[in-house]
């Protein structure tokens, strides 16, 4: 019995062992059938999760921005004052064109070169274009200041008052401002001034004469252009006449006649100088200061009229020569303003603003000073002349010329008057008429 009981215990133990092995095999099978970890699945990241879509997304086409429209401003000018000039002035102009373009990406400048005068000249083209194809007129024009009034009267130009700062207007020399103004409005920004003055041989004269008595007491020869230009009296006469004639009450108003006593005084001066041999008879063949300058350079005169452009151009090659103011009746005479001015033609406000901006850039003191130095002309602003060499003796003379200069006398019938005066000058120099007779004849002719 004991053995059976023993066998029975052994059987029971074996059964337990078999059951344990079976359970282990079941667990291993379950583990092999599901390899995923038995952990909770985290929720998706809201910021980075991309929602499912049933169709692919479409990219919307964006139209390119249209290119900005370029406004091309046309500038009529002369060969001497164009960007193509090889001298320094052309380079200065190019620099300003570049800076203008940098400031106005939507604008461009086109320079059209014209003859300065006569048929096919700047004024002639302006008038012809205005009457035939006004749409082809320029936006800005460089014009002789003596022709500015004709352009204003023709309705070609726009006043600049709304575009030019007050401080610039006040900085212009008085004669410059008056010459460029009509009916109280500014129509031109004069960029160059060219004023007549005297030159004398320092080897023969230590001091130049300051008045007519001083001229008549010197041995001479003293030359000036008495032959007139195109049959009209030139500035030499008008400088001398304005030195003795009563000053007009308003320089901007037109004068209807001349002062007879003033005419007599100038004609007597001519006659006396000719009688004393101080004025050679050849002055009747000198039609401009360039004729006189050539004669002076050739040694044919001790004193001569010249203009600032000719003198500045040639001064380095002329020895024993100094410059001075032109003698007047009782002291130095005031020269007459000449030169070139920028005028506004465009009537569209946008184009006016752009054109005026470029003109103002050319009038900046440093630019105006440098441009005039290179072109051999005088600046028109006081702050521009301050940029010139203060140690140069000509800078001092230039200041006197500009400060005392006067605008051209505005005559209602200027061509008729100037032609009559020139004929009277020739009659006095040939002694066909006395000074009194010549003056009376002029007054009668222009009435």
Q: How far is CA 295 from CA 84, 205, 225, 378, in A?
A: 32, 17, 11, 24
Q: Which among 245, 287, 303 has a CA at the least distance from the CA of 426?
A: 287
Contact call for residues 79 and 44 (beta carbons, < 8 A): no
Going 285 to 145 to 400 to 246, the CA torsion angle's sign is positive
* CATH code reported for the domain at 71-194+338-404: 3.40.190.10
Nearest Cα residue to 283 out of 416, 429, 121 = 429
Q: What SS3 state is found at 317?
A: helix
Q: CA–CA separation, 204 vs 302, rounded Å?
A: 7
Phi, psi of 307 (to 5 degrees): -110, 165
Give the alpha-carbon dihedral of 118, 122, 127, 128, to 10 degrees: 80
Q: How far apart are CA 193 and CA 336, in angstroms?
A: 10
pLDDT tens string 263-298 = 999 999 999 999 999 999 999 999 999 999 999 999
DSSP 378: B
Tell me whether strands 339-344 and 189-193 are parallel, antiparallel or unpaired.
antiparallel
Dist. CA 302–CA 218, nearest whole Å: 10
Q: Where are the beta strands (DSSP E) in 194-252?
A: 196-201, 222-223
- Please list, residue by residue across 350-376, b when 16 or more beta carbons sit within 10 angstroms of its beta carbon and e when fewer do: ebbebbbebbbbbbbbebbbbbbbbbb
List the chain residues with pLDDT less than 50: 1-54
Please list the residues that pair with 310 across neighbouring strands: none
Q: Which CATH class is domain 196-335+413-446?
A: alpha beta
Read off φ and ψ for residue 158, nearest 5 degrees.
-110, 140
Is residue 441 within 8 Å of residue 433, measured between CB atoms? Answer: yes
Tokens of 112: 């059209």
Fold: same for 71-194+338-404 and 196-335+413-446: yes
**How far apart (Å, rounded) are the C-alpha atoms in residues 234 and 284?**
12
pLDDT at 58: 57
Q: What is the pTM of this model?
A: 0.83
- For residue 326, give the nearest of 215, 203, 175 by alpha carbon: 215
Beta strands in 68-195 (DSSP E): 71-78, 107-114, 140-144, 181-182, 185-186, 189-193
Average pLDDT, the chain: 87
What is the reported pLDDT for 349?
97
**Residue-level length of the chain:** 447
Are 222 and 306 within 8 A, CB to CB? no
Q: What are the sequence ranges of the domains in the chain?
A: 71-194+338-404, 196-335+413-446
């Amino acid at each position: 019995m004991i053995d059976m009981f023993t066998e029975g215990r052994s059987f029971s133990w074996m059964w337990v062992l078999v059951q344990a092995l079976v359970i282990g095999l079941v667990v291993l099978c379950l583990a092999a059938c599901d390899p995923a970890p038995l952990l909770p699945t985290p929720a998706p990241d809201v910021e980075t999760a991309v929602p499912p879509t049933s169709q692919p997304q479409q990219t919307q086409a964006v139209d390119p921005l249209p290119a900005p429209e370029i406004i091309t401003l046309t500038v009529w000018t002369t060969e001497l004052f164009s960007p193509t000039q090889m001298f320094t002035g052309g380079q200065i102009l190019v620099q300003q064109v570049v800076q203008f373009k940098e400031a106005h990406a939507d604008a461009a400048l086109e320079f059209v070169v014209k003859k300065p005068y006569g048929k096919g000249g700047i004024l002639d083209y302006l008038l012809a274009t205005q009457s035939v194809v006004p749409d082809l007129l320029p936006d800005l024009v460089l014009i002789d200041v003596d022709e500015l009034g004709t352009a204003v009267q023709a309705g070609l130009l726009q006043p600049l008052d709304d575009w030019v700062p007050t401080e610039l207007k006040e900085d212009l020399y008085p004669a410059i401002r008056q010459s460029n103004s009509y009916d109280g409005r500014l129509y031109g920004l004069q960029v160059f001034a060219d004023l007549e003055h005297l030159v004398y041989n320092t080897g023969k004269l230590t001091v130049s004469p300051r008045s007519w008595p001083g001229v008549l007491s010197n041995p001479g020869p003293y030359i000036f252009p008495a032959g007139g230009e195109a049959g009209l009296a030139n500035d030499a006469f008008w400088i001398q006449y304005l030195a003795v004639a009563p000053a007009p009450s308003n320089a901007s108003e037109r004068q209807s006649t001349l002062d007879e006593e003033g005419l007599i005084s100038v004609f007597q001066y001519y006659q006396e100088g000719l009688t004393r041999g101080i004025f050679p008879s050849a002055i009747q063949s000198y039609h401009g200061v360039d004729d006189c300058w050539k004669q002076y350079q050739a040694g044919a005169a001790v004193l001569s009229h010249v203009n600032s452009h000719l003198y500045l151009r040639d001064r380095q090659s002329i020895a024993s020569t100094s410059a001075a103011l032109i003698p007047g009746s009782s002291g130095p005479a005031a020269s007459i303003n000449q030169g070139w001015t920028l005028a506004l033609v465009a009537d569209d406000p946008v184009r006016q603003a752009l054109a005026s901006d470029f003109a103002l850039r050319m009038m900046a003191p440093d630019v105006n000073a440098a441009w005039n130095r290179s072109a051999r002309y005088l600046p028109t602003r006081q702050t521009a002349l301050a940029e010139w060499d203060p140690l140069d003796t000509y800078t001092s003379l230039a200041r006197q010329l500009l400060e005392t200069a006067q605008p051209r006398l505005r005559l209602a019938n200027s061509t008729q008057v100037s032609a009559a005066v020139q004929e009277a000058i020739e009659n006095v120099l040939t002694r066909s008429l006395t000074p009194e007779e010549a003056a009376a004849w002029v007054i009668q002719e222009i009435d």
